[in-house]
């Protein structure tokens, strides 16, 4: 039987309440749909660690800028439902925009220290939209544990901080990035790549792995590590760098030398498709 899809806040709250009354821990995977193996890995982790798994599918309008792809973002609910069923999801919460944002809604959530820099500077308002919708989802689903992918590292760190700062009783877990066989991070946006662009997209992980090798060889200076990453990207036909940075893994503040865990993060355009990726660097 296919996983049930619930569009109503009241109904999802009732079903979660019944699960809790039965002594079941609630795991939650928030998504915008167009699910792939990366999402499946998050759901499987939730299935392993909790007893009642909820997946939300909601293309959140408040995290898209005016020039971004909200209108063409893939909406594949029936395929998503098949995937959710296959990996053991108990409930899909699929509200519409009017349910999540009534006409008189005027409250937003921000995490200033973590929403600037990296993708935050390139996508003004994006993380305000993410933090707002995820806090709303946490308040609706009331999960014990929520699972996010490391590919969206800045997002996951921001949501961990939000939950801590606002005393949200949900553990926010960051799970390892799931990759294609050639190392490309799985993303709903990969489907926009042409075959040629898809072949060139491996430059992202190659660049990140190069920084990791440089660090292992003893290089600690961020400017030299970044230069090594940029060199690889600049040799890739059609690749346009949005940013390449190395920052403190916890605070996301700029650093000059890698002396503690750091995150190497980048965003690269291939054609019109913007891809992001990252690796943790441990000195």
Residue 165: Cβ within 10 Å count: 11
Domains of the chain: 5-175 (3.40.50.620), 188-278 (3.30.1300.10)
Q: With contact defined as beta carbons under 8 Å apart, do 165 and 243 qualify? A: no
Closest CA to 28 of 190, 136, 114: 136
3-state secondary structure of 54: strand
Q: With contact defined as beta carbons under 8 Å apart, do 92 and 28 qualify? A: no
pLDDT in tens, 220-240: 999 999 999 999 999 999 999
Distance CA 50, CA 172 (A): 13
* Helical residues (DSSP H) of the chain, grouped into ranges: 9-21, 37-49, 77-86, 97-100, 112-115, 119-122, 126-141, 153-165, 195-200, 203-216, 222-234
Q: In what order do the strands lie in the sheet with 273-281?
A: 239-248, 262-270, 273-281
Distance CA 167, CA 145 (A): 14
Q: What is the pLDDT along the chain (283 residues), one digit of tens a residue?
A: 999 999 999 999 999 999 999 999 999 999 999 999 999 999 999 999 999 999 999 999 999 988 887 888 889 999 999 999 999 999 999 999 999 999 999 999 999 999 999 999 999 999 999 999 999 999 999 999 999 999 999 999 999 999 999 999 999 999 999 999 999 999 999 999 999 999 999 999 999 999 999 999 999 999 999 999 999 999 999 999 999 999 999 999 999 999 999 999 999 999 999 999 999 999 9
Catalytic positions: 39
């Amino acid at each position: 039987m296919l996983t049930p899809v619930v569009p109503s806040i009241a109904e999802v709250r009732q079903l979660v309440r019944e699960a809790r009354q039965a002594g079941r821990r609630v795991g939650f995977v928030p998504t915008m749909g167009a699910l792939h193996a990366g999402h499946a890995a998050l759901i499987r982790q939730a299935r392993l660690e909790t007893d009642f798994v909820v997946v939300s599918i909601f293309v959140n309008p408040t995290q898209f800028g005016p020039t971004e792809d909200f209108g063409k973002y893939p909406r594949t609910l029936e395929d998503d439902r098949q995937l959710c069923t296959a990996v053991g999801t108990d409930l899909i919460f699929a509200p519409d925009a009017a349910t999540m944002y009534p006409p008189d809604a005027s409250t937003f959530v921000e995490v200033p220290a973590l929403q600037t820099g990296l993708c935050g500077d390139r996508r003004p308002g994006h993380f305000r939209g993410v933090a707002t919708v995820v806090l709303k989802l946490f308040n609706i689903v009331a999960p014990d544990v929520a699972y996010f992918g490391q590919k969206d590292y800045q997002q996951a760190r921001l949501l961990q901080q939000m939950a801590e700062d606002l005393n949200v009783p949900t553990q926010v877990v960051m799970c390892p990035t799931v990759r294609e066989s050639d190392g490309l991070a799985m993303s709903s946006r990969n489907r926009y790549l042409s075959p040629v662009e898809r072949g060139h997209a491996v430059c992202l992980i190659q660049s990140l792995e190069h920084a990791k090798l440089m660090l292992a060889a003893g290089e600690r200076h961020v400017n030299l590590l970044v230069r090594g990453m940029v060199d690889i990207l600049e040799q890739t036909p059609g690749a346009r760098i949005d940013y390449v940075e190395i920052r403190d893994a916890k605070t996301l503040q700029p650093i000059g030398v890698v002396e503690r865990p750091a995150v190497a993060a980048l965003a690269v355009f291939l054609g019109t498709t913007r891809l992001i990726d990252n690796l943790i660097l441990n000195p």
